[in-house]
Structure 1
Amino acid sequence: MPDVTRKILWSVLAAGTALTCLSPLSARADEQPSADLLARGEYIATAGDCVACHTAPGGRPFAGGLRISTPMGDVITTNITPDPEHGIGRYTEEDFEKSLRHGIRRDGSRLYPAMPYVSYSGMTDGDVQALYAWFMHDVKPVAESPPVTELNFPASLRITMAAWNLVAGAVPPETGDSATFDKLRRGKYLANALAHCSTCHTPRNMMLSEKEDSYLAGAPLLGWYAPNITSSKTAGIGNWSEDNLVQYLQTGHVDGLSQAAGPMGEAVEHSTSHLTDADLHALAAYILQVPAKDDAVEHSPREQVGKAVDTPDIRTGVLTRIDSLDEMDGAHIYDGNCAACHGSDGAGTSDHYAPSLFHNSVVGSARPDNLIMAILSGVDRTTGTLHVHMPGFDGNSDVQRLSDAEIASLVNYVTATFGSGDHGVTAEQVGKMRAQLPKTP
């Protein structure tokens, strides 16, 4: 596919806009809903992870302003608080439904599918009504408007989305009360409609619609790689137990398996860690029975790769200043920036706060993407009372910036020493991924 065409299609998909929701049910915005309906609406909003995209770092909840870089320009998410001038306060429930499930704004223009209406189309009427009630009555209005998204032509023409919707398809709407679904049906509903797992984890075709025959088989995502989460025992998570996956969704960490960072870390922090145990088990049970899809790149279980490194003390007693070297190799960079937490042997801390680098699905992956992005952007995840933090080395935190060449050397050293081997990552490759880090206005 020509590069220009790829950029156009990618930007159409990546560009986000106003999230609105729901169907012409019964409630009106000026009627006080019951406490049970509001509680249900809040839970639905949490399961759908609305706050992650519509809240800028340090910004007010749902007021928008998150800036996402695309090849066709920066996308800035919108205010979806009930403020009548700056948010969605004038939306009727019918307006809300058209936006949420069909991607059509109150003014009739089309939304870009970064607002995952293709998935939200599967929501039940009852959950749509609850979500609308909560947004209109319990979310605090914010009287401010983020900058307007201005993309380059032809991505700036929202009407193009009408044609895209014809080929993209949508999740068929569920019927009945979603709270009464049996375990697997509930898990399917959570995965496909609310949590929209396939939005990130399913690869896309030339038109950037999801490949139905590769459901949850893994896909690139803004520099990261949303991994294969089918039941494949070599490429996916077929070796995980239901309890393993529940723990991961609750905490973002499972010893000897994986840790959540980037977009998945946000999903855990803002969404899945707040779901009920019953819903987490339903979601895990459904995902673990998704038919296995093997991978042309991953040939062995990512989480089983590597071992501790035996590093005998062979120091000569001669002090070498590594800051005087013209160019440090990966081992020196690791010793100076990583070994204090992850250990010279890669075993991490005894309490697993700093995870082991072997038996780690990120380091054991045949794709170095997520390791590069984790080093660049760091890890910042809070679940319950536990805050997990690793500083990023992109220069935007309080630690020293590592150059593209240094990060490339570090990644190659870490994967060669503790994981899947030296992947020959280059400075140019790191630079392209650095450019995809999120920005704020």
Structure 2
Amino acid sequence: MLSVTARGISVKILRIIAIVVVVGVVVFAGLALWLNRTPSSPFDGEVAATAATFPVEETSYVARLADCVACHSLPGQAPFAGGLPMGSPVGIIYATNITPDKTAGIGNYTLAEFDNAVRRGVAKDGHRLYPAMPYPSYAKMSDEDIRKLYDYFMFEVEPVAQPNPQSGIPFPLNQRWPLAFWNAVFAPGGVYRENPEQSAEWNRGAYIVQGAAHCGSCHTERGLAFNEVALDESSSSYLAGAYLDGWYASNLRGNQRAGLGRWSEDDIVQLLKTGRNQHAGVFGSMLEAFNNSTQFFTDEDLRAVAVYLKSLPPTGEDRPYQYDEATSLAFANNDLSAPGAALYLRQCSNCHGVDGRGRGVLQPPLAGTPTVLEDNPASIINILLNGAGRMVVNGVPDSYRMTPFRVLLRDDEIADIATFIRGSWGNDAPPVTAAEVAAMREHTDPSSDEVIVLQMR
């Protein structure tokens, strides 16, 4: 009798579990279908335009702000034809063809479909885009700027019938539908809303930095789900620096050591306009952004960006930087006893000086520069190994750039130079190991003379 009763209870429990599982599956499937629906756009129902609505100087300027060419072009190939490989934690992603070609590109996109791709990460056929496309930032762009961007790509860009490469992400990680859940949690969307407590200039800077220029995509760290941990200044993690593709994108907040705390608004404007200032020069991923984007910003927009960035308070522990003459005095007394000192004197001092203060704006200082002072040494290792790409200002390639030491120096020698630089002139940053250099050597390629520079009318 007891065994029969126990068997009956077990059957009831199994039935309850089965019902819960079925209901859970149905709810999950329904939620997945709802999240993967085609989102609505303010442009739904609009008839496709047959000619540009805005002047080309306005439409191309929005494309400059958004720096679309940096990811969607390859050196020496047609602009916006795609094919650029981008590393991700699950495999290689290739940037797509966004020319108005009707087969390989976006020539058949309506304005609403274009809007969904740019601001919501949903392609014309409904599949979700990988967030390597910075749609969480582009979501803040205004309707008018989206119209201008659409105008530019449909009527000013030459169509290119270049097929899109298949991603290198294996099954089942290549399934796109789970990205709808990611979007629901990490890409809240919504255009930029002005802060009434701030000036018009501050709001314009915030709009550019948070939206079209998508600065947070590189300069804000990622969470466990590879999401930007913050999308605006409401979090102290926003623009506080992050590691990305072999470089450490600098802290853009008010930190005195490894941030912009010692920079003036004019310093920020100068770097974005000319690629150099008294503190630093552009390199790495920022070099591409400079070559094709920031140098073309209007003076008003550059100032607005500077005003916004200078409003961001420091984050974490911070202490002031103070120049220390001990290293310079050691050189003056022919004291090369410090590890890496002789190598620095032979390989680096002609450009950066025995005092570490550089040569004006042409060769940046190493004393007190944020890149050197970062706890993460990725950028200084990378640039010592691979040098710097070619800066192009107003169409003219730069004559002064960092020499790569990948072939000339061993891992331990590069580590010694990096450690010497990070420990001299008051820098007081952690040392670099040969193992760190070896790892960077393995995962990076030498810099190339080829650069992506887009010519626009």
CA distance in 2, matches of 1:83, 1:438: 32
CA distance in 2, matches of 1:402, 1:107: 51
Secondary structure of residue in 1 paired with 2:315: coil
- Displacement after TM superposition at 1:101 (Å): 0.7
CA distance in 2, matches of 1:152, 1:330: 44
TM-score after normalising by structure 1: 0.80
Relative to structure 1, the CA distance from residue 235 to residue 357 in structure 2 (aligned partners, 3 Å threshold; closer, same or farther) is closer
Deviations 1:84-142 (A, max 9, x none): 12211121111111100110111111100110001111111111011001101111112
What residue number does 2:91 align with?
A: 73
CA distance in 1, matches of 2:85, 2:409: 24
Secondary structure of residue in 2 paired with 1:74: strand
Name the amino acid aligned to 1:191.
V
- Displacement after TM superposition at 1:279 (Å): 0.7
- Displacement after TM superposition at 1:270 (Å): 1.3
What residue number does 1:158 align with?
A: 176
1:170 aligns with 2:188: yes
What residue number does 1:334 align with?
A: 344
CA distance in 2, matches of 1:333, 1:57: 34
Residue number among 263, 270, 291 corresponding to 1:269 in the alignment = 291
Deviations 1:23-81 (A, max 9, x none): 62787655111452x32221111001101111122322111122223443222212111
In structure 1, runs of 5+ residues without a counterpart are: 1-21, 316-328
Q: Is the 2:86–2:93 Cα contact (8 Å) retained in structure 1? A: yes
Q: Is the 1:52–1:270 Cα contact (8 Å) retained in structure 2? A: yes
1:24 aligns with 2:33: no
What RMSD over aligned residues (CA atoms) do the two structures have, in Å? 2.9
Name the amino acid aligned to 2:311.
Q
Deviations 1:165-199 (A, max 9, x none): 121033421479xxxx9212211111111111122
TM-score after normalising by structure 2: 0.77
Name the amino acid aligned to 1:33.
A
Q: Is the 1:305–1:360 Cα contact (8 Å) retained in structure 2? A: no
1:248 aligns with 2:274: no
Name the amino acid aligned to 1:274.
F
Residue number among 352, 355, 362 corresponding to 2:371 in the alignment = 362
Secondary structure of residue in 1 paired with 2:328: coil
Q: Is the 1:191–1:197 Cα contact (8 Å) retained in structure 2? A: yes
Further displaced range: 369-378 or 357-366: 357-366
Residue number among 319, 324, 343 corresponding to 1:299 in the alignment = 319
Matches within 5 A, 1:104-119: 104-119=122-137
Secondary structure of residue in 2 paired with 1:425: coil
- Displacement after TM superposition at 1:369 (Å): 2.2
Q: Is the 1:69–1:438 Cα contact (8 Å) retained in structure 2? A: no
What residue number does 1:405 align with?
A: 412
Relative to structure 1, the CA distance from residue 235 to residue 135 in structure 2 (aligned partners, 3 Å threshold; closer, same or farther) is same
1:186 aligns with 2:196: no
CA distance in 2, matches of 1:154, 1:299: 47
Deviations 1:236-280 (A, max 9, x none): 32332211111111122111x222211122212211110000011
Secondary structure of residue in 2 paired with 1:75: strand
Name the amino acid aligned to 2:430.
H
Matches within 5 A, 1:316-355: 330-349=340-359, 351-355=360-364
Deviations 1:264-312 (A, max 9, x none): 222122111100000111111112112x24234x5334xx555571323
What residue number does 2:10 align with?
A: none
CA distance in 1, matches of 2:320, 2:334: 34
Q: Is the 1:25–1:125 Cα contact (8 Å) retained in structure 2? A: no
Q: Is the 2:269–2:306 Cα contact (8 Å) retained in structure 1? A: yes
In structure 2, runs of 5+ residues without a counterpart are: 1-40, 449-457
Residue number among 382, 392, 401 corresponding to 1:390 in the alignment = 401
- Displacement after TM superposition at 1:405 (Å): 2.6
Q: Is the 2:258–2:371 Cα contact (8 Å) retained in structure 1? A: no
Higher Rg: 2
- Displacement after TM superposition at 1:421 (Å): 3.6
Deviations 1:361-412 (A, max 9, x none): 22233432221122223222222346254245365xxxx3433333212211
CA distance in 2, matches of 1:419, 1:155: 47
How many equivalent pairs are there?
Answer: 392
CA distance in 2, matches of 1:134, 1:272: 18
- Displacement after TM superposition at 1:330 (Å): 2.6
Residue number among 306, 311, 323 corresponding to 1:289 in the alignment = 311
Q: Is the 2:186–2:227 Cα contact (8 Å) retained in structure 1? A: yes
CA distance in 1, matches of 2:185, 2:176: 16
Matches within 5 A, 1:413-432: 413-418=420-425, 420-421=427-428, 423-432=430-439
Residue number among 219, 227, 236 corresponding to 1:209 in the alignment = 227
Further displaced range: 69-78 or 134-143: 69-78
Q: Is the 2:74–2:84 Cα contact (8 Å) retained in structure 1? A: yes
CA distance in 2, matches of 1:161, 1:368: 32
Relative to structure 1, the CA distance from residue 148 to residue 231 in structure 2 (aligned partners, 3 Å threshold; closer, same or farther) is same
CA distance in 2, matches of 1:122, 1:35: 20
CA distance in 2, matches of 1:189, 1:55: 25
